[in-house]
Amino acid sequence: MGTVRSESGTLVFRPRPILAALMATAGIIWIATLIYLFRFENVPTRTFFSAGFFIVFFAISLAYYARTSIVVDQKGVTYRGIVRTHRFSFAEILKVEVLPGPVTVYAIRFKGHFVHFTSFFSQHRRLMELLVDRAGLAPLRG
């Protein structure tokens, strides 16, 4: 799927779609497991709570991967998370930090706020380079 570009030059970056599909699949498996548990007698209550926990966990993960996006347009950046949406101008970006690891984390520091995204986003490197360029920051060493 990747990045979506509109006619106005707006770029939309999202987590890879496979992640939402995996979270939905895992949630369905746990729902089936919970239903299956009701066929047995004397199942400990904590077993039902455990299955319920995983259902909630995967539902929240699905909501995160389905809703989260970073929109870059000519005027700035809009970060839409699972709960909040923030709009920032490029002038407000103070720093873009790269924290390497098995999953690379990119921390965008704004005046008074910060947001992050990971290498789970489609074209995450392009997004990071775009933010650094448009904010007029020094290039990052690779």
Angle at 68 between CA 96 and CA 133, to 5 degrees: 30
pLDDT of residue 6: 55
What is the DSSP secondary structure assignment for residue 141, as one 8-state letter? P
pLDDT of residue 139: 64
pLDDT along the chain (142 residues), means of 10: 62 95 97 97 96 98 94 94 92 91 93 89 93 83 54
Residue 88, both tokens: 């920032």
Class of domain 1-136: mainly beta
pLDDT of residue 66: 93
pLDDT of residue 140: 58
pLDDT of residue 81: 92
